[in-house]
Structure 1
Amino acid sequence: MAFASTAPPIAPAMDWPVADPDGAPIEAVRAIRDAIDAHVTDLLATLPTA
């Protein structure tokens, strides 16, 4: 397939275990936010710098 040979490689999917904040108390939502922040921070640390 010509498209596949010219398309840029696709990054692997990442699946982070993040709880659903719907209806959760604010403390739980903040903990979820902090967990997402930690995952993103870790991911950014693995990316090459320009």
Structure 2
Amino acid sequence: MTEKTCAACDCPLDADVIRVTIAGKIVEVCCEECAKALNEAHASATDQGA
């Protein structure tokens, strides 16, 4: 079985995953800090053209 890892930091995921929607896709992260980091990175990447 393949072990799932955090989309932000590659740490192994346990039963307490947090699901975050980024660009219409749901990704799983291990903690609130990683969720916030992904949201900030996505916002920064999409604001490049503004």
- TM-score of the pair, normalised by structure 2: 0.42
Structure whose alpha-carbon radius of gyration is higher:
1
- TM-score of the pair, normalised by structure 1: 0.42
Kindly indicate which of the two structures has a greater share of residues assigned to helix. 1
Kindly indicate which of the two structures has a greater share of residues assigned to strand. 2
